[in-house]
Amino acid sequence: MHELYGLLTGPLAWAAFFVFIGGSLYRLATMLILVHKKEKFIFTYMSWKYSFRSIFHWIIPFATTNWKKHPVLTIVTFAFHICLFLTPLFLLAHIVLWDEAWHISWWSLPDSLADMMTLVVVGACVFYLIRRISLPEVQYVTSASDYVILLIVAAPFVTGFIAYHQWLNYPLFLNLHILSGEIMLVAIPFTRLSHMIFSPFTRAYMGSEFGAVRHAKDW
């Protein structure tokens, strides 16, 4: 177990971050090169003003018609994404690791709050799962990969929660936690989790077309 821990926090952690950052840059670069090669006109239609006008509307809860139409989903989605980002970044246990390895540290979340936020992420995943199974319009376009993605996202939080509370077999769950976190990082650039990378661009493009050409709102 200890050797595995060394492997997971050593070479595999390096590899995961490398693939995550490198893969994201790669996906981004290939997209931009493809635009340059085949749809250069897109650049000429991009507008900073209307890109941000659109992005801002969509990253504010209830600022768009569709967010208003789905209040529960909206609250869950925003809570989910906020907790998904902040919890791993500001978890004390993670910062301690950074500090030990690189002597860098930053502000951390109180553990009890981080605990709650973890539950929010897991709860949201359950919500998404139920939504996928029970709503016909979502079920219809669901494929196996959609469940896998959900699992990939939920796993680090579930295992982290168990490990933090030292339930069951602590070393095992700690290792599972690290492994699943690394899987998630690696999966981001190469699965539909890549919406994290691409969504600002698709939104910005539609925002630009609607703002500058169509003179209409896109929210």
Partner 1 sequence: MTEAAKKETPKGLDQGIEVGASSLTGEKIEGVIKSVLDNETGARLKTYVDTCIHCGLCSEACHYYLSHDNDPRYSPVGKVKQTMWEMLRKKGKVSPEFIKKAAVISHTECNLCKRCAMYCPFGIDIAYIMSVVRRIIHRLGVTPLYIQDTAHSHAVTMNQMWVKGDEWPDTLQWQEEEAQDEIPCLRIPLDKEGADIMYSVIAPEPKFQAQLIYQAAVIMDVAGVNWTMPSGIGWDNSDMAMFTGDNELMGRIKRTHYETASRLKVKRIVMGECGHAFRSVYDMGNRWLGWREPPIPIVHAIDFYYELIKSGKIKIAKKYDQPVTLHDPCNVVRGGGLHEKARYVIRAICEELIEMHPNREHNYCCAAGGGVINCGPPYKMTRVHGNKIKAEQLFAAKAKGAKTLVTPCHNCHSGLEDIVHHYEVGLGLKFISDILYEVMEKP
Q: Which of these segments, 62-70, 97-105, 110-118, 179-187, binds partner 1 (CB under 8 A)? A: 62-70
Lay out the site mask for partner 1 across 32-51 (x = CB under 8 A, - = otherwise).
x-xx-xxx-xx-xx------
Distance, in Å, from the CA atom of 88 to the CA atom of 126, rounded to the nearest integer, reads 19
- Dist. CA 202–CA 209, nearest whole Å: 11
d(CA 167, CA 73): 31
Name the minimum Å distance from CB 102 to partner 1: 33
**Residues contacting residue 49 through CB under 8 Å, at least 6 positions apart:** 211
Site mask, partner 1, residues 88-127, x = CB under 8 A?
----------------------------------------
What is the per-residue DSSP string for 9-36?
HTHHHHHHHHHHHHHHHHHHHHHHHHHH
Q: Is 207 in the site for partner 1 (CB under 8 A)?
A: yes
194 binding partner 1? (CB under 8 A): yes
Binder of partner 1 out of 2, 48, 107, 137 (CB under 8 A): 137
Residues near partner 1 (CB under 8 A), total: 47
Output the CA–CA distances (angstroms, integers) from residue 11 to 7, 100, 187, in the order listed: 6, 16, 17
Task: Give dist(CA 92, CA 108) in Å, integer.
Answer: 5
When binding is defined by CB under 8 A, the residue of 100, 136, 144, 168 that contacts partner 1 is 136
Contact between 215 and partner 1 by CB under 8 A: the answer reads yes
Distance CA 6, CA 12 (A): 9
In the complex, which residues of this chain contact partner 1 (CB under 8 A)? Answer: 31-32, 34-35, 37-39, 41-42, 44-45, 54, 58, 65-66, 69-70, 73, 135-143, 146, 192, 194-195, 198-199, 201-203, 205-207, 210, 213-219
